[in-house]
């Protein structure tokens, strides 16, 4: 059992405003910097998209794969004018489904003052209905 | 760095017994009330479906979209008499897959004594094989 | 409100090296043993696959359903020689997508010194590109 320090919670918001409607943005470095600033040594970090047409996921930082992921999301949750949601005047039904498919949040463990990620794990913000201001919340809990 | 209070954990179980087999029930208010009762000011809240044919997700509180989500889940994880799982006498193979697709849990950050949700984020219980008693666990960790 | 003990974090890594490329391994008992060793009474446990072609999920421990899940993942995220990711020399594009579909992590609540799982919830490691050493991180936070 390790010596205990005082547990605490730390919060930060990341803002995004993409130029295109769909975009995949690597945010690992911003999250690592937040943990360094906090000085947390051990715990968990939540990164969660606060808008319901965007997500957060962990996978490879490789351009071909990112294109594969985008094509796959479009195949399983396609742009389609006939969603019932569009009766409200919206046109982003596909973006809601894409967020559900890729998920909107990840928990990253913190060990020895750093994000405890596997060798190829990178954290991404996935925008499915962009060109406007959106937020991701970072909430760290630990000591 | 904020002044530190004592960290603690709080637990509650929500019960459901739906009238129909598939149903989507908004549970944001019940979860917000739990956080108020606890008096936690900062931390994380886990909401997790304890039965393997139900899920918890965060998305829009809009009837058309809820119908779109249901139709989408049925398209990707359809009712089908031929699942191998049905050799056990069960008939709910699709419900297991729908839970995997929508996911069975969310973490909600708590800030300033409240659920720190985006403007349109609402928490839903998703029932895929209802008409019997089922539970969601709420576990809050914070101070 | 319960009497408070001191919050702490505990970490363990589980190693896997499967004989086949795709495999589903029940890890509930190993995780329960970790919580017993830690002596944590209340809190949360993160189990997260550290390699981006593997996942962790919670569902039924029933061989027919496991076969259904595998067939379903293959239907929605199929082996396919034409992924753009394969231009890098890799051949595991499907494995990256299968991990995104099933998700790579779960949070398990801890109550009264035990994993607080529903009656049929079992935790699985899902390998999609095996026959090599891979890790799952366990991170528990609580008291």
* Average confidence (pLDDT) per 10 residues, chain C, 143 residues: 73 98 98 97 98 98 98 98 97 98 98 98 98 98 96
- Structural domain count, chain C: 1
Are B103 and A103 in contact (CB < 8 Å)? yes
For the domain that residue C89 is a member of, what is the CATH number?
2.60.120.460
Q: What percent of chain A stands above pLDDT 90? A: 95
Q: What digits encode the pLDDT tens for the residues A26-73?
A: 999 999 999 999 999 999 999 999 999 999 999 999 999 999 999 999
| Max intra-chain CA distance, chain A | 58
Residues of chain B below pLDDT 50: 1, 3
* B1 in a structural domain: no
Tell me which residue has tokens 């919206």. A90
Chain C contact probe: residue of B15, B73, B84, B137 with most C CBs at under 10 A: B84
Residue C81 tokens read as 């020689």
* C1 in a structural domain: no
* C71 in a structural domain: yes
ipTM of the complex: 0.96
Residue A28 pLDDT: 98
Judging contacts by C-beta atoms under 8 Å, the chain B residues touching residue A84 are 63-65, 67-68
Residue of C nearest to A111 (CA): C11
Q: What angle do CA B76, C73, C128 make, to 5 degrees?
A: 160
Judging contacts by C-beta atoms under 8 Å, the chain C residues touching residue B103 are 103
* A74 in a structural domain: yes
Q: How far is CA C13 from CA A112, B45, B66, C49, C50, in A?
A: 14, 25, 39, 10, 10
Q: What is the dihedral of CA A20, A23, A29, A31, to 10 degrees?
A: 100
* C2 in a structural domain: no
* A3 in a structural domain: no
* A2 in a structural domain: no
Question: Which residues, in sequence order, are CB contacts of B90 under 8 Å at separation 6+?
Answer: none
- Say which of C68, C103, C107 has its CB closest to residue B84: C68
Judging contacts by C-beta atoms under 8 Å, the chain B residues touching residue C7 are 7
* C56 in a structural domain: yes
CB contact at 8 A, B75 and A80: no
Residue of C nearest to B80 (CA): C68
Q: Report the distance separating Cα B83 and Cα C71, nearest Å.
A: 10
Q: What digits encode the pLDDT tens for the residues A89-135?
A: 999 999 999 999 999 999 999 999 999 999 999 999 999 999 999 99
Judging contacts by C-beta atoms under 8 Å, the chain C residues touching residue B7 are 4, 7, 143
Q: Which structural domain range is residue A33 located in?
A: 8-142
């Amino acid at each position: 059992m390790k010596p205990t320090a005082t547990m605490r919670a730390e919060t930060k918001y990341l803002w995004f405003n993409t130029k295109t409607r769909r975009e995949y943005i690597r945010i690992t470095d911003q999250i690592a910097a937040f943990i360094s600033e906090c000085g947390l040594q051990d715990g968990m970090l939540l990164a969660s998209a606060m808008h319901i047409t965007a997500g957060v996921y962990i996978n490879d930082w490789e351009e071909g794969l990112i294109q594969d992921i985008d094509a796959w999301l479009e195949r399983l949750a396609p742009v389609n004018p006939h969603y019932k949601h569009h009766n409200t005047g919206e046109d982003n039904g596909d973006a809601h489904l894409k967020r559900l498919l890729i998920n909107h949040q990840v928990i990253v463990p913190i060990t020895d003052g750093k994000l405890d990620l596997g060798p190829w794990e990178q954290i991404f913000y996935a925008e499915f209905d962009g060109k406007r201001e959106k937020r991701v919340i970072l909430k760290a809990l630990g000591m």
